[in-house]
Amino acid sequence: MKITNIKQFKPNREFKREDLHTLGEFLVGAHFDEDEVLDGQGLYVIPGLVDIHLHAAYGADFMDGDEKSWHKIARFEAEHGITSLCPTTMTMTEDEILKACSIMNSYKPSDNEAFLHGLYLEGPFISPNKTGAQNSEFIKKPNLEFVNKAIEASNNQVKFLGIAPELDGAIELISALRNKVICSIAHTACSYETAMKAIAAGVNHLTHLFNAMPPFLHRAPGPIGAAVETESCFCELISDGVHVHPSAVKAAFKLFGKDKIVLISDSMMATGLDTDKSYTLGGQEVFVSGKKATLKDGTIAGSVSTLFDCLKTAITQIGIPIEEAVACATYTPALCAGISDKVGSLNSGCYANLLFIDKNLELQGVMLRGKMLWQNF
């Protein structure tokens, strides 16, 4: 297929009027046997979004223990422009986490569903002082045996592990997992010095920057200061307009630079549904009002926004340049997850996962692995 009359997002982070070409599921260079032409009607075309951290959507949760829930989420996400994702677990019982790992092993996406590119274990090795919406009842001490069980149950598909590095045995676990799992500083009360030890041991990631961690103070810079100093450290950021103040979002881009920020949704099951009622997350009741989801005590409990919603908010409400925001929701998450050869850009050889958006950043169509999932043009 030849896709014409578009402004495509180029790897150098600019939009250019240039045709795209697909062959089967993939993007390719120009070829001469194209029998189908798609007129993009002047729309912007960007890669399908890559959400490496989300728990649930549309009434389903990856911790439901039911593969049907996974298919429901993957379909919903694809329809809303998220064509690649990493299912994210919660701090729950060992059996429930291992069940999610086993589903990851057996899961096969349908043609209308987002690809799953590995599991994100958010806990259970977290600080009891920074649980956020995680259930403190199920916190575990860092345990290599448990991680190995999860890796085996998922058939080596554990991609990320969120861990508080101040816990006894955490640094040793990080070191043991080096080059096997991407370890991320998460739900932590650690100091700058401990964070630097974790980074030296193999950490190169920070889970939802600013949330569930100490603030960046001038005499106690904490994990944020450690990550700022570390060129190889990626930082997740929830730009839903609720989790992080717009000023802090803009400050993060200045502190870390546009190449290290990974936009995530951290979405929970209310995403895509009526947001003025109660739901659950990690077995705990969550109350949703508008764009804000909280536990009974007022703790923010995930978001009700898709990554596409977060992208729009970053651009239209916070003021992040569109070229930077798009990269942070496509190429950068793909790069940090080690899948940038397959997704996250419009380079030849990548999957033909394309989003067609208008000048108001409204989604007008989704191409999933070379086939139009839906279109309004």
> Which tokens go with 309?
């919603």
What is the signed CA dihedral for 27, 28, 31, 37, rounded to 10 degrees? 20
Determine whether 266 is an active site residue: yes
Could you give the CA distance from residue 355 to residue 375 in angstroms, rounded to a whole number?
10
What single-letter amino acid sits at 6? I
Tokens 């200061």, located at residue? 225
Cα 241 to Cα 318: distance, rounded to the nearest angstrom: 8
Choose, from 51, 61, 64, 266, the residue flagged as catalytic.
266
Q: Give the Cα separation of 115 and 339 in Å (integer).
A: 11
Q: How far is CA 300 from CA 8, 287, 296, 319, 367, in A?
A: 36, 10, 10, 24, 34
**C-alpha closest to that of 11 among 359, 357, 341:** 341
Residues 112 and 368 sit within 8 Å (Cβ to Cβ): yes
Which of the residues are catalytic?
266
